[in-house]
Structure 1
């Protein structure tokens, strides 16, 4: 038996159902099938892909498990395209955090390390439009800090805008997922004094970013996150010290 010296390791050939799922996923992620659009019927997909009905059903189950398809029942139901949200990634991350015995305090530590880096990049790449969006979010929080849902919604706009302004989609995805893990661990509303202090410290971040001063932006973000960490460790020490628990 001879070995072809020019041949490398053979690539794993995916199952037929996985290949069909990949083709449909490419359509959804590439925009050929938009979110909320019904996919072709099982019969049509069988004909389109030249596979058995059971293969199509397995492909749809794979897509559903990745949050790319939802299966609606009843008249007019069937597979409908959707786009996964970062909460799904956060839940998957929880699985691995639980395996390694990590807790939310560990997540906070990582944010303390990374947030100033992201802020520095954001200051170098931010657009006037992004600055306007962040200022509007802060203004809306400041108008009625007693409206907690409004505070949370606009705080989310501010945070996500900082991550987006950094200009690196990987940083954006990682940072937003970490931020969601910490936010979702909060059992109660923040006290009014904490909300007001957060708004003003975020304003410091934005003011430095508006000047395109990378070092000042990083320093302001570091100060904001240090204060946030102190708050969590003072008021929520029991919660953030528990091992992360993954659930379906």
Structure 2
């Protein structure tokens, strides 16, 4: 946690710069919102990662100068959007959650439902995002990251679960790396999670008859990435994602125009 001066941070007041008028008034923050913001700031400043424990409620209340109820409400807010999770039991308490996009996808789903976004839009988003990310990985990714993608595609997977696991690892690795803009990776991971939930909910379709060709496409993309050929990697991924979109259209057409629901 940061130094004690964090207690003195002003809540809900306009901020005046070194020159110029005060910023427009905003609605006053609730103490729970203020506390949630401070918890997030402390997680970032302390470099905490997935599984790291946060202080007990009593310690947070004293540190931030707020009541227990404000701390508990702040933790509920952060848990609802997936930034932390509160483990039950005597040895439980708040811990930092992972940042792989699965929890963020829940927040996106809420906005998708309100905006009438469908699964067809999700497929389109994947088609737009992954070619950009694979180009970035090829042109600016670390040698370790590019080798990892190559290693994932090194062997010919067996039909069934092995093929699906390898395909998922391939796309997840691409979504995890954005050299210039981590927001792209965040959204790619979240969109990928929504896509997987869609396929799981609709039930597994027949495995693609061209499974060997799909694996060959993955391998060719990985080789282009390893060679640092961004344009080729992007071109191959664009074609690959178009084929995937056509497969989904063929096997899940009845559900593609369903509005995504918040879960």
Same fold (TM over 0.5): yes
- Which secondary structure state, in structure 2, belongs to the residue aligned with residue 185 of structure 1? helix
**2:164 is the counterpart of 1:155:** no
Counterpart in 1 of 2:193?
180
Q: 1:52 to 1:11 in 2, by over 3 A?
A: same
**Structure 2 unaligned regions, length at least 5:** 1-19
Alpha-carbon contact 2:81-2:106 (below 8 Å) kept:
no
How far apart are the structure 2 equivalents of 1:113 and 1:54? 44
User: 2:52–2:95: 8 Å Cα contact kept in structure 1?
Assistant: yes
| 1:79 corresponding residue in structure 2 | 94
Task: List aligned pairs for 1:206-221, cutoff 5 A.
Answer: 206-221=222-237
For residues 110 and 80 of structure 1, the distance between their equivalents in structure 2, rounded to whole angstroms, comes to 32
Residue 69 of structure 1 is matched in structure 2 by 84
- 2:5 is aligned to none
Are residues 1:125 and 2:140 paired? yes
CA distance in 2, matches of 1:94, 1:116: 23
- Indicate if the aligned counterparts of 2:176 and 2:189 stay in contact, CA closer than 8 A: no
Name 2:104's counterpart in structure 1.
89
Q: Give the conservation status (yes or no) of the 8 Å contact 1:146–1:192.
A: no
Seen in structure 2, the aligned counterparts of structure 1 residues 88 and 134 have a Cα distance that, compared at 3 Å, is same
Q: Shift of the alpha carbon at 1:85? A: 4.2
> Contact 2:138 / 2:146 at 8 angstroms: preserved in 1?
no
Q: Which residue of 1 aligns with 2:37?
A: 22
- Deviation, 1:192, is 5.4
**Separation of aligned partners in 2, 1:37 and 1:176:** 22
When structure 1 is superposed on structure 2, of 195-204 and 40-49 the one drifting more is 40-49
Contact in 1 for aligned 2:150/2:223 (Cα 8 Å): no
Q: 1:74-109 CA distances to partner (integer Å, 9 max, x unpaired)?
A: 333333333454122222222222223222112212
Question: Would you say the 8 A contact 1:28–1:82 is kept in 2?
Answer: no
- SS of equivalent residue, structure 2 residue 24: coil
Would the alpha carbon gap of residues 32 and 177 (structure 1) be closer, same or farther in structure 2, given more than 3 Å must change?
closer
| 1:101-136 CA distance string (max 9 Å, x none) | 222112212322333333322221133212221122
Across the aligned residues of Structure 1 and Structure 2, the Cα RMSD in angstroms comes to 2.5
**1:228-247 paired onto structure 2 within 5 Å:** 228-247=244-263
CA distance change for structure 1 residues 57 and 179 in 2, over 3 Å: closer, same or farther? closer
- TM-score norm. by structure 1 comes to 0.83
**Which structure 1 residue ranges, 5 or more long, are not aligned?**
none
- In structure 1, the residue matched to 2:217 is 201
- Name the CA distance, whole Å, in 2 between partners of 1:56 and 1:166: 35
Alignment check: 8 A CA contact 2:136 2:230 kept = yes
Cα pair 2:48 2:96 within 8 Å, conserved: yes
Q: TM-score, normalised by structure 2?
A: 0.79
SS at 2:110's partner residue? helix
